[in-house]
Chain A
Amino acid sequence: QVTLRESGPALVKPTQTLTLTCTFSGFSLSTSGMCVSWIRQPPGKALEWLARIDWDDDKYYSTSLKTRLTISKDTSKNQVVLTMTNMDPVDTATYYCARIPNVYDSSGYDYWGQGTLVTVSS
C-alpha cells in the first residue's frame, strides 16, 4: 500500500526558511523511473509545481522559485525533504508531495499526500 505524508511547521515567519518532509511507504525511491515531487496550492488558487527528485538523484525546480528551493532524498529513511528560503506571506499554501511511479511512461502523479497547510505570518 502506497502512502505519502507531509510534515513540517504549520506557521513560519517572513524571511524564515521552511523545511518540509515527505515520508512515504509502499515503494522505494531507488527504483528506476520513480520520482517524488512537491506541489503547492494557495488557498482558493491553482496547483503550482515546485520541484522533483528522481531515483537517480536528478533534480528539477520551478524556474520562478529555483533560487529558493532545495530538494533532497534519504532513500534509507524513505523521505524527501524540501527547503524553501526567505518565506513570504504569498507562500501561504497547502504543500503536497506526490509520486510518479515511472517517469518513462508518462504515468503522472498517481499517489498524493494529504497535504500540509503552511501559513506565513509574523
Chain B
Amino acid sequence: QSVLTQPPSASGTPGQRVTISCSGSSSNIGSNTVNWYQQLPGTAPKLLIYSNNQRPSGVPDRFSGSKSGTSASLAISGLQSEDEADYYCAAWDDSLNGLVFGTGTKVTVL
C-alpha cells in the first residue's frame, strides 16, 4: 500500500519546468530522507535523487529535489522528451518500520 501521495500525472512542453509533489506524514517524510526514482517504460526504476536533494553521478542537474516538513518535491527543469516516464518518491516509515513508496506520477512531454 502507498502511504505517500503523488499527483497521478504531470505534463509540460519541451523546455518547461515541471514539479511533482510527494505528501507524507511525520512518521515518514517528516522524520526521514526522501529518494526519487525514474521508471522509463518497460524498465527497472532508476535512482534519480537521494537524501532529499542529492543527485547520483550521471543524473543531469535538470533534476532537483527538496523537502519541507512532511512533503517533498521533484523538479524537472528544461523538460526533454526522454524525461517522459513514471516518477516515484520513497521514504522510510518509522511507524511501519519499512520503506514506503509514493503512488507514482506519470510525466508526459507534450
Please give the residue numbers on chain A whose beta carbons come within 8 Å of chain B beta carbons, in ascending order: 37, 39, 46-49, 52, 60-64, 96, 98, 105-110, 112-115
Interchain CB contact under 8 A, B47 and A108:
yes
Given contacts A48-B1, A49-B98, 19 further A-B contacts (CB under 8 A): A46-B2, A46-B103, A47-B101, A47-B104, A48-B101, A49-B101, A52-B98, A63-B96, A63-B97, A63-B98, A96-B44, A96-B45, A106-B51, A108-B47, A109-B47, A110-B50, A112-B46, A113-B44, A115-B44
Interchain CB contact under 8 A, A61 and B98:
yes
Interchain CB contact under 8 A, B102 and A46:
yes
Which residues in chain B, 33-49, are within 8 Å of chain A measured between CB atoms?
33, 35, 37, 39, 44-47
Chain B window 96-110, contacts with chain A (Cβ cutoff 8 Å), 1 for yes, 0 for no: 111111111000000
Q: List 11 A-B contacts (CB under 8 A).
A: A46-B102, A46-B103, A47-B45, A47-B90, A47-B101, A49-B98, A62-B96, A62-B98, A63-B97, A108-B50, A110-B56
Q: Could you tell me the distance between the alpha carbons of A61 and B2 in the complex, rounded to whole angstroms? A: 15
Given contacts A113-B44, A115-B44, contact A108 B90 (CB under 8 A): yes
Shortest CB-to-CB span from B105 to chain A, Å, is 10
**Residues on B with beta carbons closer than 8 Å to the beta carbon of A109:** 35, 37, 45, 47
**Residues on A with beta carbons closer than 8 Å to the beta carbon of B47:** 108-110
Give A110's nearest chain B residue, CB to CB.
B47
Give A97's nearest chain B residue, CB to CB.
B44
Q: Could you tell me the distance between the alpha carbons of A96 and B35 in the complex, rounded to whole angstroms? A: 17
Shortest CB-to-CB span from A42 to chain B, Å, is 12
Contact with A60, one of B37, B88, B97, B100 (Cβ below 8 angstroms): B97
Shortest CB-to-CB span from B63 to chain A, Å, is 13
